[in-house]
Chains A and B, each alone.
Chain A
Amino acid sequence: MIGAGPAGLAAAVAAYDGGATDIVILERDDCAGGILNQCIHNGFGLHTFGAELSGPEYAARFYGQTGARGIRCEFGTTVLSVGADRTVRAVSERGVAEYRAQAVVLACGCRERPRGAINIAGTRPAGVFSAGTAQRLVNIDGERIGSDVFILGSGDIGLIMARRMVFEGARVHGVAELMPYSSGLNRNIAQCLNDFDIPLMLSTTVVEIRGRDRISSVVVADVDGKLAPIPSTAREIKCDTLLLSVGLLPENELAKSCGVGLDKTTGGGAVDDAFMTDVDGVFMCGNCLHVHDLVDYVSAESAACGAAAARYVLGQKEKERSGAEIVTSGGVRYCVPQRIERGGGKLTLRMRVDGVYKKCRLAVFADGKELYSRARPVVTPGEMETIELDAARSAALRAADSIEIKLIRSEAAQ
């Protein structure tokens, strides 16, 4: 397993329980837990444990499970490359090591989109952080990163950090969101913004950063229907800290190094329902496959991935590569898995939509026939949708030559 975050840990436990007991988890940090270690707020584990744990507590439960099974974890170890032959090269203070594996599970997580990638003009002073970096500095290093904060991006990380900075004694002047809706969980908008009277500025973006040595202000502006800033609406907001929560991108460098075919929409690998990529024996799960919003789904997905990897290694699962590719339409942005194998059990499909749609339904078609439909009062890009098919429908889908997942809007106006 590459990565001892929630994905790698869950996959390792499931693989072990599936009979593949010769496992090593390679982790670049000095401890397990991944991004959960800095997520000290609670709300993790509602589905998995029926409890509201903090990030580190959730991670500790899974790490405990690996410990109970004696699964080896190598910390301070950064993987340099993964070959198509599943040779893994990694470096640590002990030197450069090469591992040969029958299966490799990429559980590398994701990274944040930086300022440079969204082209904010202006000066380049200190005090501009991506929200995750700020979270790390505050929660793990115990540092106070600023006093007057402005946040761009109302995804969950931006919202959580808004509240976090208030707890650190800073003033948070507002959260700007490019879209006309927030992609964060509703409970976070309530508990992080509304509860602290932090204004949420929808359809707004930061157009300029000012300040010589340290940031002294941002210029924000409204955006139009095409998300272009409207210059006449520009106004300056003084701050000494800007947090950017402007998108997460799967960490797919290692996938690229072994030739894994990527999905252009997710940025992660294209996988079958056993989470295997188009490179034999290379599996992907968690945020490096597609960015999740609930860690419970990461754990569920990764457990399925680990179990599949074990079946593959033990020879129980023949590599087939037959079965149909899933086509998405009508507002469904992507689906994981991207294709279905002929053989196998019940299917779980996870997807995201590309906008806010009310009173719609998600429908699955096999060879043009509607196989399954679920009505949804509202779907948003910020909340992943999961479709779990029963045995009969799963069998039908596996047998199909063409599969489509479609978002169908109701006749009534939105």
Chain B
Amino acid sequence: MGKDCERIYDCIIVGGGVIGAFAARELMRFRGRFLLLEAGNDVAVGTTKANSGIVHAGFDAAPNTKKAKYNVLGSRLMEKKCRELDVPYKRNGALVLAFGNDGDIRRLRARGMTNGVDTEILSGDAARTLEPLLSDKVTSALFAPSSAVVSPYELAIACCENYTANGGELKTNSRVKTVRRGARGFWYVETDGGVYLTRTVINAAGLYSDDVHNGACADGISITARRGQYMLLDKAAKPVERTVFQTPTALGKGVLVAPTCHGNTLIGPSAETVDDRADVSTTADVLGAVFERARLSVPTLSKRDIITQFSGLRAVCGEDFVLGESADGFFDAAGICSPGLASSPAIGEYLAEAVAAKLGLAENKSFEPRREGIFRFAEATDGERAAKIADDPRYGRIVCRCESVTEGEIAEAVRRGAVDLDGVKRRVRAGMGRCQAGFCTPNLIRIIARELGISPSFVTKSGGGSTVLGQVKYDGDR
């Protein structure tokens, strides 16, 4: 034993998206040494940051699948987890629209009943009473009151903060190259920064979870990347309160008109298979087509309200989640596409309990489930604001005027792990407003540079070579 024992973990979680983050956080209910390895320079930089944010009710998942089981469980757990983690949660309900033929929504209702999810069929008029801007052509709609929305990246970030506050170890910029069975039954997890020994592994590596799996397991899985392009509408455009779906197709849940928990509206997504697992570009023709499809639900949608576009990749592996112990001590959470976000609390609990049971881990009686988020100036009362400013005057300097985000919040975001503009943006919303960081970028650079103790020239948008300020080129380079 000797020196080796200091480096042996009870569990290494590969991937700091919402699945890995929840697994890690739930593991803290048990006593053990845990390490979360994230390839990116921050957590929640993959699929977790670019999806619809919907906590699906669970009527859509095929019965008797893992998707159905964990969706329904996760949907029931999500509100409590969000309260503990101090992240936004809004149970706004959902409507699935039918245009003429209600066969599809009746099938969904029946499926929901099998899955244990309450839904109701409304007439088109009743649907329009709830949502006056719905198309006249809507003849009936499925209403699912338990559908909700969250901020997926804030959720993952909060899980990671809670995890590390409870003593978990987390390393970013740690891409896992291989996971293989080593001597004495341990798993060897190799990154550029070194090799870690662990008794168990949780594979939550998202788009790259097949690479991780295939090194560790005798069989092979294959991840297909499915891209979804979205448009985001200004907060001032509030076409609907509830999440509005069209009937699903083979490729996905169809085009949504989906309020976010911050008051914007998402239009999208598309569903295209892409070869390049890093291709998150948007394309004009697909965005245009998606917008026109969304107009079938809400004809008054206007392109003038669009403030930005983005795309996200979902990891697809067959029809269902790949979830379970695939090799002795190696647990997969792969192919967690929709309803992955909704399922995440339940998947996290399942993985943690499975690992704890496997290793016989004792309960961690000092686990603190609550995490306090960063003060939100925009949502505070004047009294709360005054108190916060008296304590720290930087909370009185508004930097992002579109979203009313103060310097105090931005500095705190860096203190809590943001290392670039996008990391600050995801934690405190600076740059997410209608001017899309046009106004606040100079100040963000200055504050991030100061808090990180680096020159402004090295501040990046999202790590790597994405420096915001130009690189100096010498004459010879021309």
Question: Which residues of A205-247 are within 8 A (CB) of B?
Answer: 207-208, 212-214, 240-241
Q: Is B468 interfacial (CB 8 A cutoff)?
A: yes
Question: What's the Cα separation between A130 and B437 when bound, in Å?
Answer: 9
Q: Is B184 interfacial (CB 8 A cutoff)?
A: no
Report yes or no: A122 in contact with B282, Cβ–Cβ below 8 A.
Answer: yes
Determine the chain B residues whose CB is within 8 A of the CB of A214 once the complex forms: 465-467
Number of residues of chain B lying within 8 A (CB) of chain A: 55
Q: Is B435 interfacial (CB 8 A cutoff)?
A: yes
Report yes or no: B396 in contact with A111, Cβ–Cβ below 8 A.
Answer: no
Interface centre among B282, B310, B460 (most CB of A within 10 A): B282
Q: Is B129 interfacial (CB 8 A cutoff)?
A: no
Report yes or no: B307 in contact with A126, Cβ–Cβ below 8 A.
Answer: no
Determine the chain B residues whose CB is within 8 A of the CB of A147 once the complex forms: 470-473
Report yes or no: B461 in contact with A126, Cβ–Cβ below 8 A.
Answer: yes
Interface residue SS majority, chain A? mixed
Report yes or no: B393 in contact with A121, Cβ–Cβ below 8 A.
Answer: no
Q: Which of A138-146, A176-184, A400-408 contacts B (4 or more CB under 8 A)?
A: A138-146
Knowing A115-B436, A116-B232 are in contact, say whether A145-B282 is a contact too (CB < 8 A). Answer: no
Shortest CB-to-CB span from A33 to chain B, Å, is: 16
Q: Is A92 interfacial (CB 8 A cutoff)?
A: yes
Determine the chain A residues whose CB is within 8 A of the CB of B437 once the complex forms: 114
Q: Is B2 interfacial (CB 8 A cutoff)?
A: no
Report yes or no: A213 in contact with B456, Cβ–Cβ below 8 A.
Answer: no
Question: Which residues of B242-257 are within 8 A (CB) of A?
Answer: none
Q: Tell me which of B231, B280, B283, B470 contacts A241 (CB under 8 A).
A: B470
Question: What's the Cα separation between A132 and B442 when bound, in Å?
Answer: 11
Q: Is B419 interfacial (CB 8 A cutoff)?
A: no
Q: Is A127 interfacial (CB 8 A cutoff)?
A: yes
Q: Tell me which of B232, B281, B436 contacts A122 (CB under 8 A).
A: B281
Shortest CB-to-CB span from B95 to chain A, Å, is: 27
Report yes or no: A141 in contact with B446, Cβ–Cβ below 8 A.
Answer: yes
Report yes or no: A76 in contact with B435, Cβ–Cβ below 8 A.
Answer: no
Question: What's the Cα separation between A121 and B465 when bound, in Å?
Answer: 21
Closest B residue to A91 by beta carbon equals B396
Knowing A94-B396, A122-B282, A147-B471 are in contact, say whether A137-B442 is a contact too (CB < 8 A). Answer: yes
Question: What's the Cα separation between A145 and B442 when bound, in Å?
Answer: 11
Question: Which residues of B435-457 are within 8 A (CB) of A?
Answer: 435-439, 441-442, 445-446, 456-457
Determine the chain B residues whose CB is within 8 A of the CB of A111 once the complex forms: 434-435, 438-439
Knowing A78-B398, A126-B460, A241-B470 are in contact, say whether A119-B465 is a contact too (CB < 8 A). Answer: no
Q: Is A123 interfacial (CB 8 A cutoff)?
A: yes
Question: What's the Cα separation between A76 and B396 when bound, in Å?
Answer: 9
A-B contact pairs, 17 of them (CB 8 A): A28-B398, A91-B389, A91-B396, A91-B398, A95-B390, A96-B386, A114-B435, A114-B438, A116-B307, A121-B283, A122-B281, A126-B462, A126-B467, A133-B439, A141-B442, A213-B465, A241-B470
Nearest 9 pairs of A and B residues by beta carbon: A116-B308, A146-B470, A93-B393, A213-B465, A213-B466, A114-B436, A126-B461, A126-B466, A93-B396
Q: A111-B439, A114-B436 are in contact. List 18 more A-B contacts (CB 8 A).
A: A28-B398, A91-B396, A94-B396, A95-B390, A96-B382, A116-B306, A116-B307, A122-B282, A126-B461, A126-B466, A129-B438, A136-B442, A137-B445, A141-B446, A144-B469, A171-B478, A213-B461, A213-B463
